[in-house]
Amino acid sequence: METQPTSSFVFVLFGGTGDLSMRKILPALYEAHRAGMLAATSKILAVARHEEDRDGYLRWVTEHVKAHVAKRGIDENAWVSFIERIEFVKIDLGNAEDFALLRDVVKDLPGIRVFYLATGPSLFVPICRALASVGLNENARIVLEKPLGYDLKSSNAINDAVGEIFAEEQIYRIDHYLGKEPVQNLLALRFGNALFEPLWRREWVESIQITIAEELGVEARGIFYDNTGALRDMVQNHLLQLLSIVAMEPPHSMDSDSVRDEKLRVLHALKPIDALEIGKVAVRGQYHSGVSRGNSVPAYATEPGVKQNSTTETFVALKVEIENWRWAGVPFFLRTGKRLADRVAEIVVNFRAVPHSALGASALRAGANRLVIRLQPNETIRLYCLAKKPGEGMNLSSVHLDLAFDQFFKEGQMEAYQRLLLDVINGRLALFVRRDEQEAAWKWVEPILNEWAAAGKPKPYAAGTWGPAAASAMLAQHDTCWLEEEN
């Protein structure tokens, strides 16, 4: 892992006492600090309205953030020096005078200015305008968390307003799945090796699955989730971004626009889902009560904050087609949901069977050769193939080759947020979503949203299962099935 320190910066964290700051952002900055990757003069300036002063905020950090850092092991000396980097400003986002105070604090701190908006999207535009009113938008970088809007219209409204204040090259729309190590290794696997790229096309690939499954329900996010749903929350951003990475053409270089140009071409090539076909290629579900990890769990409809008779989907499965030369005729199956049987995120590339087998029927079965890129809970890349079982006769069995990065590379892997935050600080945009990518994704998703808004209730599925039976039936029509194996 690189240990070259970044340039000096001031990292201004709006929503400094929020859940995302506690679980992801501050722990990621600590890990970078411990690894010697942050310039000595750099500062973290937390912005919130729930603490009175720096001492109070540091007590909050010690109580809430340290526990998340300790999961990976903590160096007490590094923790003490990390705490010394943190400053605090109490701000009421509706008070312009408070932003003048922020300006006065920031102007005395050296380095590149990064503003991270770990807030709800309704605050993005007011914060950006307030920053501009005191001149803090100049030569700065702004990081926007998802969701960026509720639909194409609202997304464009936010992008238009933020774009009046910050240039596109100053805007970092974050999707943390793009920062995961296996996604980076997928690019290395495809474009750094002669072995895989010739196979990465319709002649050799039968189907591709992308799954992001969660065991948890909506927890305390019922009000937010009931107004969002799985299609907006996961498909429009995470799943379509992963699809773009998997299906993109080789870029001429790894600079930001070259990579994002190729992802955009994939999004433009997505076959629109016709209203008459939606029942065949799109499944939406909502979890009912069930059992998860041996415990009884409630139905979505009874979760706090969920409207009575809600039709919000907690599960989505889609069959997607890409209308270009490389992928014509290859189905891409996307799946995400809450209260499923396991927590897993993975990409499964199923290669075609051999055209003729002298070794028996097992060599002709679908999925005999497949590549599984697992993003969570453990990050691995595994290649499955057939081999002869020991003993008499030619009996074949599935075996796999593991790309065990932790054995080849002794340095610890970066968490996704750590990598992405360092990219922001260093001015690297390749792993962030460009506006035209976001618009293309919304344009493709919106017809599905409109159809579902006019339709009846989602299909029920028991919590702790893999979703509605219709999702499996959709794959069965293509003589395949979801990969559902033990971690």
SS3 state of residue 160 = helix
Report how far apart, in Å, the C-alpha atoms of 397 and of each of 356, 384, 402 are: 17, 10, 16
Distance CA 148, CA 333 (A): 24
SS3 state of residue 192 = coil
Distance CA 31, CA 79 (A): 10
Residue 482, token pair as written in the block: 């979801």
**Strands 380-388 and 370-376, bridge-based pairing:** antiparallel
Distance CA 80, CA 52 (A): 21
Residue 329, token pair as written in the block: 């005729």
Contact 443, 132 (CB under 8 A): no
Contact 350, 480 (CB under 8 A): yes
Strand partners, 465: 340
Catalytic residue among 176, 238, 252, 268: 238
Specify whether the backbone of 393 is left (phi greater than 0), alpha (psi in -120 to 50) or beta: left
Specify whether the backbone of 383 is left (phi greater than 0), alpha (psi in -120 to 50) or beta: beta
End-to-end CA distance of the chain: 27
Distance CA 122, CA 128 (A): 11
Distance CA 289, CA 456 (A): 20
User: How many Cβ atoms are within 10 Å of 114's Cβ, its own excluded?
Assistant: 22
**Residue closest to 38 by CA, chosen among 28, 46, 47:** 28
Residue 391, token pair as written in the block: 């003993």
DSSP string, 84-133: HHEEEEE--TT-HHHHHHHHHHHTTS-SEEEEEE-S-GGGHHHHHHHHHH
**Residue closest to 419 by CA, chosen among 25, 12, 18:** 25
| Cβ-based burial of 439 (10 A; exposed 0-12, middle 13-18, buried ≥19) | middle
- Identity of the residue numbered 350: N
- 268 catalytic per annotation: no
Query: Mind telling me the catalytic residues?
Result: 238
